[in-house]
Amino acid sequence: MSALNISLPESIQAFIEQQVAKGNYGTVNDYIIHLICQEQAKIARVESLLLEGLDSGESIELTDEWWETKRSQLVQGVQDTQE
């Protein structure tokens, strides 16, 4: 494992130390590693969802006309539920 030195504002350093003191993490390193792993998982999830979307069906061109039609359908749907 390699070392990484970073500078943090005092308020963030205090927050990190509070998290460790609460007993949720053994060390500051554990907390930082946990945060980075969470971020990696979020990125992987977004990439997975994007790929799923790409594979979900036939693609269409999103033109100004398409967006206007969708907007009109949405407005009409809202109006229908209010009647």
Tell me the CA distances in angstroms from 78 to 20, 40, 55, 66, 83, one per residue in order: 49, 38, 30, 19, 9
Q: What is the DSSP string of 5-72?
A: -----HHHHHHHHHHHHTTS-SSHHHHHHHHHHHHHHHHHHHHHHHHHHHTSS------HHHHHHHHH
> pLDDT tens digit string along 24-51?
899 999 999 999 999 999 999 999 999 9
> pLDDT tens digit string along 68-82?
999 999 999 998 888
Residues contacting 17, CB < 8 A, separation 6+: 28
What pTM does this model have? 0.65
Closest CA relative to residue 16, chosen from 3, 8, 28, 33: 28
